[in-house]
Amino acid sequence: MKKADKIWLDGKLVDWDDARVHVLTHTIHYGVGVFEGIRAYRTADGRSAVFRLPEHLQRLFDSAHIILMEVPFPLERLHEACLETLRANRQPEGYLRPVAMYGYGSMGVGAINPVQVFIATWPWGAYLSDDGLKRGIRAKVSSFARLHVNVNMVRAKVSGQYVNSFLANREAVLAGYDEAILLDGEGYVAEGSGENIFMVKNGTIFTPSLASPVLAGITRDSVLRIAGDLGIPVVEQKFTRDTMYLADELFMTGTAAEVTPVREVDNRRIGAGQPGPITKKIQDVFFRAVHGEEQRYSEWLTYY
């Protein structure tokens, strides 16, 4: 990872190497923390903009609400802090990682310690490789199920939830695949370790609805809007693994993964085994939108 100059920690910008927390930070032990992943892009006119910053910060506060955490800064302050950090680091593009965590004080699962907040920013290229973005990735259905709604609450982007993602991703990568696809507790397709999933069949786009145990992805939401505006029919419903094998096209979405085509699942070629026309169209409009080249989506950008 390439170091930046500053990290915003509890209200001020500190040097990258000084952004430290105590080893008895509650969140390190129990995973009870919330976070976001946000991208900033250079826009076509030579400026820079953060993609859907208010929506990401709202989700951070929603995640905190779900886990009964009080974030000690108003949303507007964190909004400004994200922009301040990017400017201080002179980063025209990059990834932002705001985290709110229970700090140091008492120990024990139920201890309620002072909440600490930081925002780090760094350059991050294609999450599932440049080649994956262009030609599609190979995915594997995981032996790990996505968290059941009564086991954990995946509407919240909680640090501890990512043990499940980590196990699924490592299993897939160690088996020679690029990414894992997790099923829900009933066996229906849910999402990737860090991405939502979409399937195209006979010209219609399908994705699990938010009644499934999936993160309410902001890229997912952007893709639904783009598909609607392109006049492509979209159905939000769950589907099975074999239905997915028979898809014409498959792709994953996420802030880090952006819009990544999937060309193979469990050694079954998907469609023609290369990114299909609908995937390519959605990907193209998405990348134009983040780079400020789609006037109709200009409200998604916060320039800095």
The amino acid at 122: W
| Distance in angstroms between the alpha carbons of the first and the last residue of the chain | 23
For residues 142 and 255, which CB has a smaller minimum distance to ligand PPE in the complex?
255
In the list 33, 37, 132, 261, the residue contacting ligand PPE (rule: CB under 6 A) is 37
d(CA 110, CA 115): 14
Q: What mask, x for binding ligand PPE by CB under 6 A, covers residues 147 to 176?
A: ------------------x-----------
Nearer to ligand PPE, 59 or 138 (CB): 59
Give yes or no for residue 253 binding ligand PPE (CB under 6 A): yes
Catalytic status, residue 281: no
Could you tell me which of 285, 121, 127, 126 has the C-alpha nearest to residue 194? 127
Closest CB 272 distance from ligand PPE, rounded Å? 26
User: Sign (positive/negative) of CA torsion 250, 192, 78, 17?
Assistant: negative
Q: Which amino acid is at 297?
A: Y
CB atoms within 10 A of CB 277: 13
Establish if 219 lies at the interface with ligand PPE (CB under 6 A): yes
Scanning 16-24, 61-69, 108-116, 250-258 for contacts with ligand PPE by CB under 6 A, the matching segment is 250-258
Which of 254, 240, 149 shows the shortest CA–CA distance to 201?
A: 240
Q: Among residues 6, 140, 157, 238, which one is catalytic? A: 157
Of 195, 249, 264, 294, the one binding ligand PPE (CB under 6 A) is 195
Among 94, 98, 213, 254, binds ligand PPE (CB under 6 A): 254
Look up residue 105 and give its two tokens: 């004080």
Which residues face 102 on adjacent strands?
A: 115
Measured from the Cβ of residue 131, the count of other Cβ atoms closer than 10 Å reads: 11
**Is 93 near ligand PPE (CB under 6 A)?**
no
Residues serving a catalytic function are 157
Q: Using CB under 6 A as the criterion, which residues of the chain lie in contact with ligand PPE when the complex forms?
A: 37, 165, 191, 194-196, 215, 217-220, 253-257
